[in-house]
Structure 1
Amino acid sequence: MKFKSLLLLVILISSCQPQPPKSIGDSNISVFDNTNLYFDMAFKSDSIKRDDSILRLDAGRVLVKKVKIPVYEKQPNATVNVTLTSNGDPWDKSGSLFVIPNLTNLNLVDFETGQFDLKQLNEKYPATIPFQKDSLKYIPNVELLRFMTPFGVGHFTNDERVKNRKPPYIPHWEEQVKWSQDITHLIPLLEGEVYIGVMIDTWTKEGYTISVDLNFTESAIPNHIKTSQSVIPLVNTSKYASEQRLYDDFSKQPIEVNFTTASIYKNAKLYFITTGHGGHAEGDEFVKKEHRIDFDGKTIKSWIPWRDDCASFRRFNPTSGTWLAKDFMEEELSDDRIASSDLSRSNWCPGSDVKPEIMDLGDLQQGEHVLKIAIPEAQEAKDNENNYWMVSAYIVYDN
């Protein structure tokens, strides 16, 4: 009798112990494989073209594909890898790789495929911040990677016309450009079936060839249970939709986002991505602009996003225009040639990716919160001067 009681006690104790997390192993998810992204006015009347499970939106400049991603129990590290070459477009262009969160019943695909009537909403779509009308809720796309294409990498690398543009300090023009970023903090949005998309602001029928994969590397530590986190998408001003315009409203007013926390959100961090555009001489691309981030009425960061290392990307930019330095820059007497891709810019270089700014918010108390993003001296778009800012922000916290 004692033996049976002891055995029952052992079984009860064992059943109460937490089960070790199930191991799935490493995964590599191919999203786009040498896929041509290009602009085609023929898509204007019907902006959707289904091609090998890929949706082509906004006249072909946006590709969206549904992929299936494992749900991990052990802690994985997640990395996004992008390879890009020009397919004939010689210019530098803004690009954004994004996920459409499964946190809402209204998203980019619903609008662009005509599955939802815009007249039903008294809202401007696509919205840059979340909104809700009756039972319909919309939240912005979340960026996995912001990038800028180089001038003509790959397609023009061996072109006779660019031979004399190669400076002596680089051995050769590169065949492609590759970017890789750790996106482990975005795993809560990368589980099960999700839409992954990529936008490049090309205006040519040749466009670019792009490959994208998501790599998940499972922890080798025994019983390493995955950190439980959540993501709050807050802002995205990038142009993903046919009816969307380039965002120049920072010239008029800051963006404010109100949201509510249902409980205390531990170890919250704000991820913020920004790049300025406006290719004319005094445009927001080439002029320093202060950014100010306020959270719950307090300024948590004020700085000027700026890149002054663009000359280090010269090998990726065979079709970049060049000028004599003394003819282009005041008080410069050098006969050396300077390339457009060498010039400093608002937080990006032709051929670079863009890293998020990360701001520690601590523990968010239950209740209402306000995020305010200001670029006080941003310029408006007018005539042929397309000043605009691509800004996105989201919060990650521990459950």
Structure 2
Amino acid sequence: QPNFQHIETDVDFKQGPFEKVTLIVDLESTCYPFDTWLGPNPTNPPPAGHNWPADCDAFDRNFEFTLDEPTQDGEPPAIELVRAITPFGGPEHFEIDITDVANGIAPGTHRLRSHISTWSDGAGQVSGSNGGWFVSAKIQVSPGPAPRNVLAVIPLYNGSHGAMSPDAIDFDVPAGTTSTRVEYRATGHGGVFPSPGCTQPGEEFCRRDHRFFADGTQFDRQTPWRDDCKDLCTRKTFTTAGGGSFEYCEENPCGAIASVEAQRANWCPGSVTPPINFERAEYNTAGQHNFAWTITPVADGGSWRVSAVLFAFGD
């Protein structure tokens, strides 16, 4: 089924506490290895007139795992567990510590979602006509004393926005809280060019000013940016069945080398984007508080994929 972008499953966390809980993810693609369709004995050749195997998605895509997506208006946003970007048509593996989440949510069954913003090219010229990915995920649980006393896991936001940032988000800190952590994830996408602060077409190549507010007062200012994407390009050479050859990145086999290595708005192809963590004394008092951020400027048509989750800890 073309453009099927997410899968869901129930996960029963049962009764804690947990000493450690890890989300283990493996991603595979039919685009690579190249032998399967460019070698002397191809097992998955492109359809006639196409440049790619039908089930190959050759592009880099948003790749996210969330817990408890809302099913109706008024429900809290999902808890984002990890923000990653798929490689250009290649495999990926990562392991994410979700111990605090598992110890802070209600025991029992929760809904785990994996989302990839995959999209097909019906003509098979720039990607497969029915492109997709193979996702395997498991949660490894070690029962035992929790490393932290997690009183609450409060999802604040999970979505995308353009130039207009959301209003301040209210939340209640539970009694007994002695410390907190806000996990803020943000990656830039889309947009038109030229735009101030951009090195190439697209919001993904733009440096943006992120300002953060606790209870109405600005406490931090950052420019989320990744300048290490070149580390995800180990150069290799492939020789085709016809005797030709081309150079590619082992970690991002279907991407143009210059594109793979380009610096970006807080993400790299084939990589996890870690959260920006804040520990604010303002939130250590029980009762109502709020969290807000602004992102400026954002190009016309551009957007930032943002999530924020607050963890409340006791002694």
With the shorter chain as reference, the TM-score category is 0.7 to 0.9
Q: Say which of 56, 65, 82 aligns to 1:145.
A: 82
Worse-matched range after superposition: 254-263 or 286-295: 254-263
Give the RMSD, CA atoms, in angstroms. 2.2
Determine the structure 1 residue equivalent to 2:153. Answer: 231
Q: Say which of 167, 172, 189 aligns to 2:105.
A: 189
Compute the displacement of 1:235 (Å).
0.5
Determine the structure 2 residue equivalent to 1:97. Answer: 65
Cα distance in 1 between the residues matched to 2:27 and 2:146 = 35
Q: Secondary structure at the match of 2:168?
A: strand
Residues 148, 353 of structure 1: 8 Å contact kept: yes
Cα distance in 1 between the residues matched to 2:147 and 2:77 = 30
Q: Secondary structure at the match of 1:181?
A: strand
Determine the structure 2 residue equivalent to 1:358. Answer: 277
Q: Which has the larger radius of gyration?
A: 1
Superposed CA deviations along residues 103-154 of structure 1, whole A, max 9, x for unmatched, are xxxx53x35xxxxxxxxxxxxx6xxxxxxxxxxx41000111111001111x
The residue correspondences of 1:1-399 to structure 2 (distance < 5 A) are 39-40=2-3, 60-73=4-17, 75-87=18-30, 88-100=56-68, 108=70, 110-111=71-72, 137-153=74-90, 176-187=91-102, 188-189=104-105, 191-204=107-120, 205-219=130-144, 227-237=149-159, 247-249=160-162, 251-261=163-173, 263=175, 265-278=177-190, 281-314=200-233, 315-322=250-257, 339-362=258-281, 363-381=283-301, 387-399=302-314
Cα distance in 2 between the residues matched to 1:225 and 1:304 = 32
Using the aligned pairs only, state the percent identity.
27
Cα distance in 2 between the residues matched to 1:307 and 1:268 = 26
Cα distance in 2 between the residues matched to 1:152 and 1:307 = 20
Q: Which residue identity does 1:208 align to in structure 2?
A: W
Superposed CA deviations along residues 204-237 of structure 1, whole A, max 9, x for unmatched, are 2221101111112234xxx778734311110111
Cα distance in 1 between the residues matched to 2:297 and 2:206 = 10
Q: Which residue identity does 2:254 align to in structure 1?
A: T
Query: Paired residues, what number?
Result: 255
Q: Which residue identity does 2:161 align to in structure 1?
A: D
Gap change, CA 1:224 and 1:346, over 3 Å in 2: closer
Compute the displacement of 1:321 (Å).
2.1
Q: Secondary structure at the match of 1:231?
A: strand
Cα distance in 1 between the residues matched to 2:176 and 2:146 = 25
Gap change, CA 1:81 and 1:235, over 3 Å in 2: same
| Structure 1 residues not aligned, in runs of 5+ | 1-37, 41-59, 101-106, 112-124, 126-136, 154-175, 238-246, 323-338, 382-386
Cα distance in 1 between the residues matched to 2:305 and 2:146 = 37
Compute the displacement of 1:289 (Å).
0.6
Residues 20, 146 of structure 2: 8 Å contact kept: no
Compute the displacement of 1:267 (Å).
0.5
Cα distance in 1 between the residues matched to 2:267 and 2:182 = 20
| Structure 2 residues not aligned, in runs of 5+ | 31-55, 121-129, 193-199, 234-249
Determine the structure 2 residue equivalent to 1:23. Answer: none
Gap change, CA 1:64 and 1:190, over 3 Å in 2: farther
Cα distance in 1 between the residues matched to 2:313 and 2:173 = 13
TM-score, normalised with respect to structure 2: 0.75
Gap change, CA 1:224 and 1:234, over 3 Å in 2: closer
Cα distance in 1 between the residues matched to 2:158 and 2:146 = 34
Q: Secondary structure at the match of 1:350?
A: coil
Cα distance in 2 between the residues matched to 1:370 and 1:260 = 8
